[in-house]
Amino acid sequence: MSSLAALWFLSLGIAAVALLIMLGLLLARLVLGWTGRARDVEKKRLVPLLLGSRPHGKLRGGERGDLLATILVELIQLVRGSDRDRFVEAATRLGVPERLRHNLNSGSPRVRLAAAEALAEFADEQSVERLHAALGDRSSDVRLSAALSLASVDRTPPARELVDMLGIGTTENSLLTVGLFRDIAASRPDEIKALILDDSVPANAKAAAIEALSASADYALVPLIASLALSSDSEDPALPRYLRALGAFAHPAGEKAVKRGLGNPRWDVRAAAAEAAGKIGLTSLGALLREALADPTWWVRFRAGEALARMGADGAALLRQAAANAPEPGRTAARLTMAERGIG
Amino acid sequence: MSGWQTWGLWAAEWIALLVIFTGLLQTFFYVVQLGFAGVALGRRPPIARASLLWRRYADEAPGIAVLAPAFNEEVTIVESVNSLLALHYPDFEVIVINDGSKDRTLETVIGHFGLSKVERFHDAAVKHNPIRGLYASPRLPRLLVVDKENGGKSDALNAGINVARSPLFCSIDADSLLEPDALLRAVRPFVEEPLKTVAVGGTIRIANGSRIEAGQVLDIRMPRNFLALVQIVEYLRAFLMARLALSAMQALTVISGAFGLFQRQAAMEVGGYSHGTVGEDMDLVMKLHGLFRERRQPYRIDFIPDPVCWTEVPESLVILGRQRARWQRGALEVFSRHKKMLFNPRYGRIGFLGMGHVLIVDVLGPIVEVLGYFLVPLLWGLGLLAADYLLAFLAITFTFGIFVSTATLILEEAELRRFPKKRDLAILTAVAVLENFGYRQLANFWRLRGWWQFLRKQQGWGTMTRKGFARP
């Protein structure tokens, strides 16, 4: 048989195998009857059983599987209060946490991820212990999910350890780390504050910690963040985040850092500085903001206009001046900001 | 044997070998893609419920401007806008761009939503035809309507990019139906890799035959039209296999114009959408690759397999043929514009894998296959080619085609199970076989027509008559 004929037989063979596999999957569908609708029906049947509103009902043997675990976790996440407690109790009785812990050993990162997320609903010691172990998982998604689950039950390791374990600020830059730090800060704010002071913590992790604390109204942090912004290199990617955090605190102690930011060669830093100036209400920077209305980058012009509009009569006066006398593009920026904000 | 016969035999064998070699190369690409797609599907995060996604992303998700270009959409504009305003996402704005419609699209949307003319300070960095007015209402702070002079879809999107104030924008087609949680799902790469992600594409599914109400697909049903069924298999192959695999290789060359999420700043840096090409969606992605590769800046352009958007596909041969010729022309225009990237080490995997894929599948693919359809049987009939060559050609054309389509269906069923009925799967399996006998050859002729249009530098989109989504 020539190689070309062999190619023919090989291709015929793999097409036949593919069709056979497809046929097998179709048969599996037929046997298992798995459909979204069947799943919904199953969910409706399980709810009263799990709530105990039909005490004589019984769970079928085959229900101790992933489907049951998934449905129960979904139900737990849907409700609050005593219903939730009853679902958690029923799920625990049916061995759902055990199954989820088992799933954390799966070869599929998707299964491990789902298990790590779902275990957040169960705060028993064994689950917490298993989640701690999952912080060393080979998949970064699983590691972060395990950390988020532990944070939701306030059982994470110390924040500094977590930074190293997850590679926060280096290999892990997910925006979800801000939420993670926020959860930790709710009960252990000092650990997150310590990250900001620690020189060995990567800049992006510090920025995430600062963002997490920016809604805390802990004004003692302002000088600290301002000094970080002032000591940062102008190329530091975390600099706009520091400035935005200063804006969120709305404390005048950030003025020096904001002023310096307005002169930064990077447009994103200038825009963040202008935004912060408006939020803090730094009327002393009004002249610089008026100049920023003519910035070559639209975002800076926009943020400067917004900042001036926030500054009451002083800002409005500067906008009027710019709308009347400033060269383009500052004049248009001022005119349109006034029109949009209803400043006469 | 005379001289010309010897020469003819030699030429016949070389043509057959070229056809078979290109076919094998294409098949090799597909098999590799299937492998990558399988691994990517296995590694993808579980499809979370919208409420869970909301809880997870509500505080961190970046703002998104949904850009909806509209041209002569008087009949459907209100329903489309209502559907977009009902999206579940913490921070979004809907920007409808009336691209100089000749009907009452603008008046309809203004009247229905009670909008009035407003002034808004916006960017002008990306080029587009003049904006005639902006319309909004304080009652609907998420909605802004841009009225501009006609300039085509890319021109309208450019106006939307300028007017948008969110860090991300989502470009959609006028007839795209988004899943309510589409933005929540598609934003995941931007949340998880915020420093690198510049663009994300999502899976487009075919809505023909399904029950649609108030801009939402309520009941997924198979279309009765054979062409629409074939396109379901084609879309599965394109999205579930090719795009997912190329995304896993970080060599994705196209994000569908029907749904794509982009970092606004990056899109502005490359000048937004290009004019003068019908492949403006692919061109934007290639320009982004070029920008970041030239800067040597790490970046990601991703594709997510979650279903996020539904679209209507043509059900007539004439319109489908026109669409496919246009797609082919678009791919060739973009390939021609970015040919310097091809096999250029400066562009890394996008130069080798991404552009290599376009070269083999889009540029050479239809020519070589059609050449094969004519020449291989002809040469065999003339006794110039051995039966082995004919068989090998048939093997590559038909059986590998069946294998690739069926394997994509296997991936779909094993990993996603988005077709609720067993019967649907059985129908699609049959279609995956049948499409190789007739439809595939026809599609290649359409693509050759696209080649011809490209060579003649034909411009424009042609007429796309829409049947309209089925209403209950």
Distance between A56 CA and the closest CA of chain B, angstroms: 31
Question: Looking at CA atoms only, how far is residue B63 from chain A in angstroms?
Answer: 13
Q: Which residues 407-426 in chain B show a CB within 8 A of chain A?
A: 407, 409-410, 413-414, 417, 420-422, 425-426
Across the interface, whether the CB atoms of A333 and B121 are under 8 A apart is answered yes
pLDDT at B464: 45
Of B20, B60, B410, the CB nearest to A25: B410
Give the model's pLDDT for residue A38.
64
Task: Determine the distance in angstroms separating the CA of A73 from the nearest CA of chain B, rounded to an integer.
Answer: 11
Residue ranges of alpha helices (H) inside B237-316 are 244-248, 264-269, 280-295
Cα–Cα nearest to B394, from B447, B361, B440: B440
Asked if B13 reaches chain A (Cβ–Cβ under 8 Å), the answer is no
Low-confidence spans in chain B with pLDDT less than 70: 1, 47, 458-472
Which residue of chain B has the CA closest to A16?
A: B403
Quick check: A5 and B391 CB within 8 A? yes
- Contact B455/A at CB under 8 A: no
Per-residue pLDDT at A62: 45
* Residue in B162, B20, B11, B182 with CA at minimum distance from that of residue B86: B182
| Contact call for residues B72 and B150 (beta carbons, < 8 A) | no
Q: Chain B: nearest CA to A62, how far in angstroms?
A: 21
For chain A, say whether B5 makes contact (Cβ under 8 Å): no
pLDDT at site B320: 97
CA B166/CA B93 separation, integer angstroms: 8
Number of Cβ pairs < 8 A linking chain A and chain B = 140
Interface test with B, best of A175, A268, A328 (most B CBs within 10 A): A175
B458 near A CB under 8 A: no
> Helices (DSSP H) in B338-460: which residue ranges?
348-349, 355-357, 365-381, 387-394, 400-411, 422-434, 439-455
Instruction: Specify the pairing of strand B64-70 against strand B92-99.
Output: parallel
Chain B residues whose CB is inside 8 A of the A108 CB are 42-43
Spell out which residues of chain B touch residue A302, defining contact as CB-CB under 8 Å. 121, 123, 165
Please count the other Cβ atoms lying within 10 Å of the Cβ belonging to residue A299.
Answer: 21
Q: By CA distance, what is B411's nearest residue in A? A: A22
- B388 closest CB neighbour out of A2, A22, A77: A2
Q: In this complex, is the C-beta atom of B20 within 8 Å of any C-beta atom belonging to chain A?
A: yes
- Cβ contacts of residue B192 below 8 Å, gap of 6+? A141, A174, A175, A176
Contact A175 B165 (CB under 8 A): no
The per-residue pLDDT for B90 is 93
Consecutive H or E run containing B64: strand B64-70
Alpha-carbon distance values, B163 to A57, B118, B186, B284 (Å): 59, 13, 22, 18
Q: Report the C-alpha gap between B317 and A79 in whole angstroms.
A: 51
A336 with B417: Cβ contact below 8 A: no
Whether residue B464 lies within 8 A of chain A, CB to CB, comes out as no
B52 contact A CB<8A = yes
CB contact under 8 A, A18 and B118: no
Q: Hey, is the C-beta of B211 within 8 angstroms of any chain A C-beta?
A: no
| Angle separating helix axes A125-134 and A96-103, nearest 10 degrees | 10
State the pLDDT at residue B130: 97
Cα distance from A284 to chain B (closest Cα, Å)? 25
Task: Say what the pLDDT of residue A56 is.
Answer: 46
Nearest residue on chain A to B414, judged by CA atoms?
A: A25
Which residues from chain A sit within 8 angstroms of residue B406, using beta carbons? 15, 18-19, 21-22
Nearest CA in chain A to B394: A8
Mutate to test the interface with A, among B121, B241, B403 (most CBs of A within 10 A): B121
What pLDDT is stored for residue B113 in this prediction?
97
Q: Which of B20, B388, B422 lies nearest to residue A30, judging by beta carbons? A: B422
**Helical ranges in chain A per DSSP H:** 3-32, 36-51, 66-78, 81-93, 96-103, 109-118, 125-134, 140-152, 159-166, 176-187, 189-197, 203-213, 221-231, 239-249, 255-262, 267-280, 286-292, 298-310, 312-325, 330-341
Q: What is the DSSP string of B311-346?
A: E----SHHHHHHHHHHHHHHHHHHHHHTGGGTT-GG
* Cβ <8 Å between A15 and B396: no
Q: B46–A114: do the CB atoms touch at under 8 Å? A: yes
Q: What is the pLDDT of residue A279?
A: 96
Q: Which residue is closest to B219 within chain A, CA to CA? A: A37
Scanning B242-281 for CB atoms below 8 A from A yields: none
Please tell me the distance in Å from A55's CA to the nearest CA on chain B.
29
Q: Which 8-state DSSP code applies to residue B279?
A: -
B420/A25 CB distance under 8 A: no
The pLDDT of residue A214 is: 87
User: Taking CB atoms and an 8 Å limit, are B59 and A182 in contact across chains?
Assistant: yes
* Chain A neighbors of B121, CB-CB under 8 A: 301-302, 305, 332-333, 336-337, 340
CB contact under 8 A, A8 and B391: yes
The reply to whether residue A19 touches residue B420, judged by beta carbons under 8 angstroms, is no
User: How far is B460 from chain A, CA to nearest CA, in Å?
Assistant: 32
- What is the pLDDT at residue B415? 81
Q: Where are the beta strands (DSSP E) in B114-189?
A: 116-118, 131-136, 143-148, 168-172, 177-178
Distance, in angstroms, between A71 CA and closest chain B CA? 12
B46 touches chain A (CB under 8 A): yes
| Cβ <8 Å between A25 and B121 | no
Per-residue pLDDT of chain A (344 residues; tens, 9 = 90+): 677 888 888 888 988 998 999 898 888 887 766 555 666 676 777 777 666 655 444 445 444 567 778 878 888 888 888 888 888 888 888 888 999 999 999 988 888 998 999 999 998 999 999 999 999 999 999 999 999 999 999 999 999 999 999 999 999 999 999 999 999 999 999 999 999 989 999 999 999 999 999 878 788 899 999 999 999 888 888 899 999 999 999 999 999 999 999 999 999 999 999 999 999 999 999 999 999 999 999 999 999 999 999 999 999 999 999 999 999 999 999 999 999 999 97
Rounded distance, CA B342 to CA B349, Å? 10
Residues in A closer than 8 angstroms to B413, CB to CB, are 22, 25, 29
Query: Does residue B211 sit in helix, strand or coil?
Result: strand
Q: Nearest-CA residue of chain A relative to B57?
A: A176
Alpha-carbon gap, residue B247 to B349, rounded angstroms: 11
Nearest chain B residue (CA) to A78: B51
Q: Cβ–Cβ of B394/A37 closer than 8 Å?
A: no
Helix (H, G, I), strand (E, B) or coil at B9: helix
Contact B165 A110 (CB under 8 A): no
Residues of chain B contacting residue A15, judged by C-beta atoms under 8 Å apart: 398-400, 402-403, 406
Q: Do B119 and A339 touch (CB under 8 A)?
A: yes
Interface contact B9, partner A, CB < 8 A: no
